Structure 1
């Protein structure tokens, strides 16, 4: 059972996003910071405690020196400090273990923490750990809300980079647009080394590396259908709608009034950004139908037999030559408001399938006219696939929500 205390809301959460949730546990509703005065009572899920102890008065402070002193005493008492960040509504619990020997978090504990009714509430937990090699600043371990461990998370990496900058600044004005000094962080992930940079406008640009198109490395059992550079890639491959051994159900098709063309087919372009993605292009009416039925459709694609390690699934409407609209069902997290690796995979898929033109000579200049804008439920990401080095660059925001402590 998870217990909470000392939730430190920031004096820097914009007043327009402040919320108080008395008597409901410590929850985050995506962009809402937790703010209250010291007289406010929050009910924390303390198992088999007295009724007096069950009503926990959250000690709230806007003095970060007090928070630092509380952190020092918390370590000795077994309490673990966490920091909540979100990137376009994709929210994460960050636990910094680079220098502080907190107890290791197991998958069942991560699941309880991510529970939006009985825990902190998040799409995942990210632990910052010491680097394992000399060419990295630190490493991260990511756990999804279901306890699975993805190789990489684009929105999560942006949140980690912004956290490190905010920490160096003592968390002063962390939720305001704070200019970055151009420092590039070298972070070890399950997908290899990733390099994010906090920009002068406060956004974070991440060098996501090379996209993986070889079906054996994605991995998928779908056959490559056309050349993409020197690699044969899976482009618009037909997905079997028959009963799947793992999903146990057939893939439904849109009704005739949504997709009037006879013989609707689910076609997938497969890309890996260190984690597998199944990108499906649809028209506007079908996009709306998928949005209304995503909770039933998503698991069928995630667990489709052609993806042996399961997959993230992106449903894409092409809105223009440099504009995509995206819905995502994330492996291990379900429907989320944004997915950074999914946005990158979708732009790559749109280019290699000929739906948008290739981008020009580019590296990480986020003002380039040929950057592709990906509209997600939580906001927009700018994606660039460089023709110079073939790296994919993702640029978007990451924001502080609140800090707190828990004991497992």
Structure 2
């Protein structure tokens, strides 16, 4: 099967076109092997492009640890661009485990994805016990009062003075596996530079520290606005590039706009 190596703001993917088969039942071991940067192709997530009845394609996602996840915003932009290039279309619908995503062109290799409405109740995140999610009663490594948001996958976002000073590779996995988060969680560390700009780094559940996280950027803006730190339209600067995020007031939808890059293509070896 043919694969496409792509990235969105440096968050990279191996996208396998399995539509001719209908689906691609990769095992955790196979997904880890593909994602391995030493012996495999190397990526943050492995994506299978499968047939869909409701959308233009179904997007199945494995993190680099081999675990399945429901959503990936940067991958959605890459997949949308691929589908648009096939037929010269200006928009596409992508079915995911978290629901249907709607994407449209916003420029040359720039895609906008409607990521849907954020889930904000404690049981939707999910958390281990009832509490308000705008400012969690949770502390780790001297940081406290994060916001919690589900953008198709769970996120907790801490607001810090200097994101570069946070020991993310130590603190990230500790929070990811904390009992407060029964399904584990993605962990964002956000430095609010102005009401219109955030500097963000994310420890991704099952993937570690990545150059960018699309759902994490969306979660950071939602969490920041709920704590009255930013407006609803914010530039999110990641290690790999910039994303434009808007949490619309009228319909509660979160729109993410950002670049995509095709790095290479190839054929997966048999087995």
Q: Is the 8 A contact 2:24 2:50 kept in 1?
A: no
TM-score normalised per structure 2:
0.94
The residue number in structure 1 matching 2:148 is 270
- C-alpha distance after superposition, 1:281-313 (max 9, x if no partner): 1112xx2221xx221111001111111000001
The residue number in structure 1 matching 2:75 is 156
SS at match of 1:350: helix
Partners in 2 of 1:270 and 1:280 — Cα distance? 9
- C-alpha distance after superposition, 1:47-97 (max 9, x if no partner): xxxxxxxxxxxxxxxxxxxxxxxxxxxxxxxxx321111001100001111
Residue 105 (structure 1) aligned to one of 5, 23, 26: 26
Q: Is the 8 A contact 1:220 1:308 kept in 2?
A: yes
- 1:81-92 counterparts in 2 under 5 A? 81-92=2-13
Q: Is the 8 A contact 1:224 1:235 kept in 2?
A: no
Unaligned runs of 5+ in 2: none
Greater C-alpha Rg: 1
The answer as to 2:255 corresponding to 1:379 is no
SS at match of 2:146: strand
Q: Is the 8 A contact 1:162 1:399 kept in 2?
A: no
Deviation at 1:199, TM superposition (A): 2.3
The residue number in structure 2 matching 1:193 is 100
The residue number in structure 2 matching 1:117 is 38
- 1:243-254 counterparts in 2 under 5 A? 251-253=140-142
TM-score normalised per structure 1:
0.64
Partners in 1 of 2:16 and 2:157 — Cα distance? 32
SS at match of 2:69: coil
Partners in 2 of 1:198 and 1:127 — Cα distance? 22
The answer as to 2:28 corresponding to 1:139 is no
Residue 85 (structure 2) aligned to one of 143, 161, 166: 166
Residue 336 (structure 1) aligned to one of 176, 196, 210: 210
Deviation at 1:168, TM superposition (A): 4.0
Partners in 2 of 1:252 and 1:214 — Cα distance? 25
Partners in 2 of 1:126 and 1:140 — Cα distance? 7
Partners in 2 of 1:139 and 1:146 — Cα distance? 21
Deviation at 1:196, TM superposition (A): 1.2
Deviation at 1:202, TM superposition (A): 2.8
Q: Is the 8 A contact 2:92 2:104 kept in 1?
A: yes
Partners in 2 of 1:110 and 1:168 — Cα distance? 29
SS at match of 2:242: strand
Partners in 1 of 2:127 and 2:102 — Cα distance? 27
Deviation at 1:406, TM superposition (A): 2.4
Deviation at 1:120, TM superposition (A): 0.2
- 1:11-90 counterparts in 2 under 5 A? 80-90=1-11
The residue number in structure 2 matching 1:296 is 170
Partners in 2 of 1:218 and 1:103 — Cα distance? 28
Deviation at 1:355, TM superposition (A): 0.9
**How large is the RMSD of aligned CA atoms in angstroms?**
1.6
Q: Is the 8 A contact 1:116 1:122 kept in 2?
A: yes
Instruction: Give the count of matched residue pairs.
Output: 270
